[in-house]
Amino acid sequence: MQPTGEAHLGNYLGALHRWVELQERFDCLWCIVDDHAITAGGDPRDLPKKVVDLAVSFLAVGLDPEKSILFVQSDVSEHTELAWLFNAVTPMGDLERMTQYKDKAQRFESVPVGILNYPVLQAADILLYRADAVPVGEDQRQHLELTREIARKWNAGYGDFFPEPEAIIGDEGRILGLDGNAKMSKSLGNTVDIMAEPDEVWARVRTAVTDPQRLRKSDPGRPELCNVHSLHRHFSSPDVVEDVAHQCRGALRGCVECKHILSDSIVTTFAPMRERAAELRAQPERIRDILDDGATRARVLARETMAVVRQRMGLDWRKGWKR
Ligand code: AMP
């Protein structure tokens, strides 16, 4: 996950919530991808704090360093090294076809190569650990298909070594932002942070767009078309979900009250995690130790892979005079 600060509801429902379950069933690595983040620009002075904030979110939601490996991408330089080597087998045309590249490229007058190469680094993030499976959102399916293609091409050129990782696609789909229109995303400013204090949660939820046809409290609403209602389904208990739908359809309760109930449900859902986050923030040395330890464990695996990759690609010149 990119370090864009503390996680939001979309990250939680689309990723973190599932990851916590996956760590019970698989040997997992969870990586904060700061090398990827630099392609988005931004002030470098902000990046270290964003990494720590995301690490706090990871730990607070229940990713457990005893069960999986939690680390920061730039601590394991093998990621960027493998990405460079994968450049040798990645067709330019494949990268140019990526939907995310085409979307992002439009925002630049002169497109940085990093925006084009982003999926190659992503392939390296995955294949460095010879991962069998990757939990990704629907939007990342194309990049994962490219990762499989890179694995196939590399294996064809240098001998079978990398598995073709499967996508583990969640059933939550795309969580809409408070505008009720676009995907919830930091860059669109339509998020609610999971670790936000109760008054901040309310300040955000109160701006949520509801059924546009319901202009007055006396107009009957259509919960099935209202994004506030779909958020209720994720965070409120089943009887509350039913009750707010009933009250909305019958114009018995207004949108502001409905949002208050949603805000309370979000606050209650994340209360234990907010507490854990506060404890963690008070112990920065603990977070540092966890990430240091994670990087050490990740490096062991990364180095095993790179020893084979370097040897197969002829990057072991010391053998040169033995021939
Ligand atoms: P990002 O913050 O875009 O790097 O996303 C990190 C993870 O959160 C990825 O697995 C995304 O698929 C997931 N994610 C981010 N935003 C959303 C959203 N609005 N709905 C569902 N999943 C999301």
CATH code for position 231:
1.10.240.10
67 in any annotated domain: yes
Residues 264 and 315 in one domain: no
187 in any annotated domain: no
Provide residues with CB under 6 Å of ligand 1.
1-2, 4, 10-11, 14-15, 136-137, 139, 174-175, 183-185
288 CA from centroid of ligand 1 (Å): 25
- The predicted pLDDT at position 167 comes to 92
**Residue 283: strand, helix, or coil:** coil
Name all contacts of 196-202 with Cβ < 8 Å and 24+ positions apart: 196/6, 197/274, 198/263, 198/267, 201/263, 201/266, 201/267, 202/260, 202/263
| Residue count (the chain) | 323
State the Cα–Cα distance between residues 83 and 80, nearest whole angstrom: 5
In ligand 1, the atom with minimum distance to the C-alpha of 11 is 8
Residues 299 and 259 in one domain: no
State the Cα–Cα distance between residues 163 and 277, nearest whole angstrom: 36
189 in any annotated domain: no
* Alpha carbon of residue 281 to chain centroid: 21
Positive or negative, the Cα torsion across 55, 57, 60, 66?
Answer: negative
> CA geometry: angle at 299 spanning 296 and 301, to 5°?
120
191 in any annotated domain: no
State the Cα–Cα distance between residues 10 and 1, nearest whole angstrom: 12
186 in any annotated domain: no
Considering its fold, how many domains does the chain have in total?
A: 2
Q: Is 319 an active-site residue?
A: no
Residues 100 and 84 in one domain: yes
Residue 176, beta-bridge partner list = 183
Q: Is 259 an active-site residue?
A: no
86 in any annotated domain: yes
- The predicted pLDDT at position 216 comes to 87
Residues 66 and 150 in one domain: yes
- The predicted pLDDT at position 171 comes to 77
Whether 316 and 310 have beta carbons less than 8 Å apart is answered as yes
Residues 140 and 92 in one domain: yes
Low-confidence ranges of the chain (pLDDT < 50): none
Residues 289 and 273 in one domain: no
Domain coverage including residue 120: 9-175+284-320
185 in any annotated domain: no
Q: For 165, which DSSP code?
A: P
- The predicted pLDDT at position 319 comes to 87
Residue 166, beta-bridge partner list = 133
Neighbours of 153 (CB within 10 A): 17
Residues 16 and 165 in one domain: yes
Residues 123 and 48 in one domain: yes
Residues 233 and 112 in one domain: no
181 in any annotated domain: no
The C-alpha R_g of the chain, in whole angstroms, comes to 22
Residues 155 and 21 in one domain: yes
Residues 207 and 161 in one domain: no
Residues 95 and 213 in one domain: no
